[in-house]
Amino acid sequence: MRLRGTARDWMRARFMGLVAFLCCGLGVVVFQAYRIQILHGDKLRAEIQKIYQREVTVVPARGSIYDRNGEDLAISIPVDSVYARPGRIEDPVGTAKRLSAILELDYETILRKLKQDAPFVWLKRQVVPLVGSRVRSLGLPGIGVVQETRRFYPNLELASHLLGFVGVDGQGLEGIEFQYDGLLKGETSRLIVDHDALGRPLGAAEGVVVARRDGKNLVLTIHKEIQYIAEQRLLEGVEAAKAKGGMTIVMDPRTGEILAMANVPTFNPNTYKQYPEGTLKNRCITDSYEPGSAFKPFIVAGAIEEKAFRPSDPIYCESGAYRIHDKVIRDIHRYGTLPLSGVIQKSSNIGAAKIGLSMGAERVYSYIRRFGFGRPTGVDLPGEASGLLRPPKWAPIELATISFGQGVSVTALQLATAFSALANGGRIMRPYVVKEILDAQGNTVERRTPQQVGQAISPTTAAEVTKILVSVVSSEGTGSQAAVEGFKIAGKTGTAQKPDLRNGGYMKGKYVASFVGFAPANDPRLCVLVAVDEPQGNIYGGQTAAPIFREILKDAMGILGIYPEERLLAQGKNGSAGGGAL
């Protein structure tokens, strides 16, 4: 009986121990479940997703860029790109040999990529369709071809500095492509796909697209035909002058819309890597230069606005030499007394200097600023310079030289914008190049309108200065070669020696020759600037830049359907004979 009781106690003890063990085990399981599900649930789920889900980047098509009439300027086209998965390649040496000739890449370069310790490497991106087809036909393990999009500029060099270009990964690097990159590229899509442990897509799993947004399209203010004419005429003129380069801008002075903007030398944005970095810059907005005599109309405008001078007031021009302390200002010709209007017509440095000195530094500075110099215009393009305009603590000689465009620097766009103000009644209009933004379906998202950002002078003063500028483009003026038969044209020549930024002073024999003007003078529709960098032989704006201006203006007027006045044709006004050379 005692043995039986002992056995029962022992059995009971074993049973209780088993129950306690099971309870402890269950407690451990519950605790672990709590730890996994509650304490570390989010972290562990993310780890599992990394193993069983794969994220594939899908780059949406980049938005197109059109001119104002809907002509293609930049589009995206489908292209093939060749990649490798090194871990799946069975014969790296043989694979590299077979791909080398097709991809036109060095064998060693390919082999090095195939031996990388990486799950994925690009071998060559954005290849022509034939290359992609040949790689596919080989059926090489671990080698694949995927379709991407490539930026294509169907007009080659046309408007290249305006448009800019796009890198191999689809990011805008210069010009409009850079400025509006966020709109054009849209939002990169992510395709989430479930995979098994071996990386194979699960048959029943469907991809989930996250954050998909296609790029928007841009409609520019640029007129493709006028852009082409501007580029061709500028190139011809630069080559004729054996110059280093040149710039031209065509604007609508009423609105600030840029119809054309060109630089020489130019480049093809489809192959931008083949060009020196300096060639890729849009010098119309990035580079500053001394404007020379093209600056004088703004000093005269301030003098007339302040009622310090009238157009007929006489100014003694010292017979070609004017001493200020130990410096001497000279004119090309020995003028005696000229009316204020004659100072501009004949482009007298001495006359302009005397006008500036009589006004004083503060007033001269004020009007220079009113016309927008010394600060960016606000154009919707990247890299715009401010030019150089120092505070008005100027010595008399500095005030004198600034009055004829020396000692101050401007960008081509600043100068064209300021001349547009003379053409439109004194209004400073913000220049712009994007006219409209469209979504991927072609619906208008935003439409840009002209913006007035200042009033430099009164309409009455602008009209007075315009009359003076018309006299420049006459047989007695320095801009006679800018004349177009049947049109009344207002403009100004400029010839400026280039400063030596390294050693100080000016570089001998190196000039910027320019002409800027607008037409028809009585109802301006176009403002055109031409600047020629370092012309050889004939250095004067009236003989180098003015003829280029004439050809661009004449062709652009025809394109826009602006016809000569019969009255002026009959009278033969604004002929091309005679004139000066400044």
Q: What amino acid positions are annotated as catalytic residues?
A: 293
Q: Which two tokens stand for residue 153?
A: 């500029």
Q: From CA 544, how far away is CA 535, in angstroms rounded? A: 8
Q: Which residues contact 190 (CB under 8 A, 6 or more apart)?
A: 55, 56, 57, 58, 209, 210, 211
DSSP string, 185-205: H-B-EEEEEEB-TTSPBPTT-
Q: From CA 156, how far away is CA 180, in angstroms rounded? A: 20
Which residue, among 362, 472, 369, has the nearest Cα to 421 in the 3D structure?
369
Q: From CA 482, how far away is CA 486, in angstroms rounded? A: 12
Q: Which amino acid is at 389?
A: L
Q: From CA 16, how far away is CA 407, in angstroms rounded? A: 103
Give the burial class of 206: count Cβ atoms within 10 A of its Cβ; 0-12 exposed, 13-18 middle, 19 or more buried.
exposed
DSSP state of 289: B
Residue 300 three-state SS: helix
Which residue, among 381, 382, 399, has the nearest Cα to 390 in the 3D structure?
399
276 φ/ψ angles, rounded to the nearest 5 degrees: -60, 150
Q: Are 253 and 423 in contact (CB under 8 A)?
A: yes
Which residue, among 213, 250, 237, has the nearest Cα to 67 in the 3D structure?
250
Q: Which residues contact 401 (CB under 8 A, 6 or more apart)?
A: 329, 353, 407
Respond yes or no on whether the N-terminal peptide bond of residue 265 is cis (omega within 30° of 0).
yes
| Other CB atoms within 10 A of residue 288 CB | 17
Which residue, among 488, 380, 433, has the nearest Cα to 255 in the 3D structure?
433
Tell me the sheet residues that pair with 58: 189
Q: From CA 116, how far away is CA 412, in angstroms rounded? A: 51
361 φ/ψ angles, rounded to the nearest 5 degrees: -60, -45
Q: Are 544 and 538 in contact (CB under 8 A)?
A: yes
Q: Where are the beta strands (DSSP E) in 88-204?
A: 121-127, 143-152, 189-194
Q: Are 299 and 356 in contact (CB under 8 A)?
A: yes
Q: From CA 309, how far away is CA 359, in angstroms rounded? A: 10
